[in-house]
Structure 1
Amino acid sequence: MSVPTVFFSGGAGFIASHTIPILLERGYRVRIFDNMLRGDRAMVEELAATGMVDLVEQDVRYGGAVQNAMKGCTHAIHFATVSINKSIADPYESIDINVTGNHNVFAAAADHGVKRLVFASSASVYGDPEKLPMHEDDRLDPLTPYCISKRMGEDLLGFYQRTKGLSWLALRFFNVYGEGQKIEAYYTSVINTFLRRIRTGEPPVIDGRGEQSMDFVHVRDIARAVVSALESERDNMPINIGTGIDTSIAQLAKILIAAVGVDMEAQFNPRDVLVSRRAADINRAREVLGWEPAVSVEQGMAELVRNAR
């Protein structure tokens, strides 16, 4: 019997580095498709040494390259993307990579008849939520080219499902963090800024009252969700992947101070702040994927602090 093979765009990135080892344990071969501009080459070489991972160093904007690399693949994971803050600075590149790239991967997956495609969508498709927790059927209001392209990706998957029978799941990731993340990453910049100050004996400075919140979900939990989505019996829907807990910026500062083990209080910089809050309704993830988050924010942040020493 032939070995199932996963086409993995953006497979040299942070979340992929935690996902691919699980895929290998479960008997998959992995074909990483990545332009390596931000990819971790040392990690890819280490994985390639297993004999079960190969790298196609190419760009998702080139449809022919995607079609060729998809040959012989039974499954696909599409992570290649341009980040939120970069999409605001350069909407042209963002639309080019995120929209054209999405389409090239989905079309190739449909043409080659892959059994399942898993798409990294984002909680940012909701915009500023009207209520918490955020449910998959809530109104979508994506605000930046990145968020718009994620919503568009979900709609395109629906098109290929209806016209070519493509089986897909779109995972709406909330605020991913964990070991190995680039420090300039949009959602972790607040973690890193606070940590830098705490370590040098300066208290973290919080704008407003620190009521803004995020749903921080650990990368190991994300990786498990991706593999569960690849193997789930149910398909063709978006699924929130978060913890269901909204951690305010003020709470985050306390958690990090405790993790470093120093005695200090955060400072508040009184000013008007647009308070946005996030927390995922994760019932669908439980029902469809049999998935639950296993790493608490306290545990994950403590680990981050230990490993960053």
Structure 2
Amino acid sequence: MTSAETVFFTGGAGFIGLHVVPMLLEKGYKVRIFDNMFRGDRDAVAAFGDDVELIDQDVRYGGAVHAAMKGCSKVIHAAAVSINKSQSDPYESMDINMIGNHNVFAAAADHGVQRLVYCSSASVYGDPERLPMHEDDRLDPQTPYCISKRAGEDLLGFYQRRSGLSWIALRFFNVYGPGQKTTAYYTSVINHFVNRLKNGEPPVIDGKGEQSMDFIHVHDIARSIALALDCEQDNVPVNVGTGIDTSIKDLAEILINAVGADVAPIFNPRDVLVSRRAADVQRAKEVLGFEASIEVRKGMTDLVNAD
């Protein structure tokens, strides 16, 4: 690979992107970030140096996407409206996530890029029928965000059949880590617990705390993206998780220990929908050579201590 090979990275100035870019530079790539900077960090991008270019533009504008992608050999598409914002404003979500998906995929097909890595989501499954959740399980997306992620995977299949586009769709589970906005959907429970604990208050858990998530550290998410750019197999969705579901009750205990608080959680007795999540991680091993490296207890403890 020559040092001139450039990765086109939509949303690359955001939370996940800023963890991926150093790995791409380490591999010898140059990076062209395409980001509307609504949630991007301009100073962090500038600190990467001359091998990282920033185009301050929006994926809704197909002409801008097409022009900016010229000369890039690979694409990472991460730009999207978040899951909670998609419910409060479905119009913007459809505009950015659906139209944006299509603009990026169509441009990649036109330019003949070697590989497109799409940041999809485990939310395409909806409430799972079984654990662990496998890539071939029934999909039942529930919000505009989740629906757009599933549609994005279908669109990739169209451009694969029509134009030979090579793609990998990474279905991220519950991402957390340093640098994440406190409004992030999947970390709201973490932030709520930590804020209460630091104020000397016990975390409040609805029901028995049996709801669970597969929390995966952003460093591992970034590794999966870097691996997907270069893996041999293509044209498949791949779960990116730890394979372990951490209940809300266990999460509270981990964070109590991390903060060093002398409290016990308070359980709010009411009926809650007990939803559980855990990734089947076999395909990630086979296709990407990926396994999560940061155990949840360590990752959460480091996150608390970094504040």
**TM-score, normalization: structure 2?**
0.99
Q: Secondary structure at the match of 1:206?
A: strand
Taking the aligned partners of 1:89 and 1:296, their CA distance within structure 2 comes to 33
Structure 2: gaps spanning 5 or more residues: none
Say yes or no: does 1:223 pair with 2:227: no
Paired-residue identity, %: 71
Question: How far 1:289 moved relative to its partner?
Answer: 0.4
Q: What's 1:138 paired with? A: 137
Q: What's 1:158 paired with? A: 157
Report 1:1-309 matches (<5 A). 1=2, 3-47=4-48, 50-308=49-307
Query: Which deviates the most, 37-46 or 241-250?
Result: 37-46
Structure 1: gaps spanning 5 or more residues: none
**TM-score, normalization: structure 1?**
0.98
Question: How far 1:37 moved relative to its partner?
Answer: 1.3
Q: Which amino acid aligns with 2:6?
A: T
Taking the aligned partners of 2:151 and 2:261, their CA distance within structure 1 comes to 46
Taking the aligned partners of 2:4 and 2:263, their CA distance within structure 1 comes to 54
Q: CA RMSD in A?
A: 0.7
Q: Which amino acid aligns with 2:44?
A: M
Query: Does the Cα contact within 8 Å between 2:224 and 2:288 map onto a contact in 1?
Result: yes
Deviation string, structure 1 residues 50-102 (Cα, Å, up to 9, x no partner): 21000010000000000011000000000000011111111111000000000
Taking the aligned partners of 1:210 and 1:306, their CA distance within structure 2 comes to 24
Question: How far 1:262 moved relative to its partner?
Answer: 2.0
Question: How far 1:45 moved relative to its partner?
Answer: 1.3
Question: How far 1:42 moved relative to its partner?
Answer: 1.3
CA 195–2 in structure 1, closer or farther in 2 if over 3 Å, else same: closer
Taking the aligned partners of 1:268 and 1:40, their CA distance within structure 2 comes to 38
Taking the aligned partners of 1:275 and 1:101, their CA distance within structure 2 comes to 34
Taking the aligned partners of 2:43 and 2:297, their CA distance within structure 1 comes to 30
Q: Which amino acid aligns with 1:22?
A: M
Q: Secondary structure at the match of 1:187?
A: helix
Taking the aligned partners of 2:50 and 2:179, their CA distance within structure 1 comes to 23
Taking the aligned partners of 1:175 and 1:274, their CA distance within structure 2 comes to 18
Q: Which amino acid aligns with 1:45?
A: A
Taking the aligned partners of 1:2 and 1:218, their CA distance within structure 2 comes to 29
Q: Which amino acid aligns with 1:84?
A: I
Q: Which amino acid aligns with 1:61?
A: R
Taking the aligned partners of 1:46 and 1:112, their CA distance within structure 2 comes to 29
Taking the aligned partners of 1:41 and 1:52, their CA distance within structure 2 comes to 15
Taking the aligned partners of 1:224 and 1:130, their CA distance within structure 2 comes to 29
Deviation string, structure 1 residues 143-201 (Cα, Å, up to 9, x no partner): 11100000000000000000000000000000000000000000001000000001111
Taking the aligned partners of 1:2 and 1:194, their CA distance within structure 2 comes to 45
Aligned length: 306
Q: Which amino acid aligns with 1:94?
A: S
Q: Which amino acid aligns with 1:13?
A: G
Taking the aligned partners of 1:76 and 1:116, their CA distance within structure 2 comes to 6
Runs of 4+ that moved beyond 6 A: none
Query: Does the Cα contact within 8 Å between 2:3 and 2:30 map onto a contact in 1?
Result: no
Question: How far 1:2 moved relative to its partner?
Answer: 5.7
Taking the aligned partners of 1:242 and 1:2, their CA distance within structure 2 comes to 31
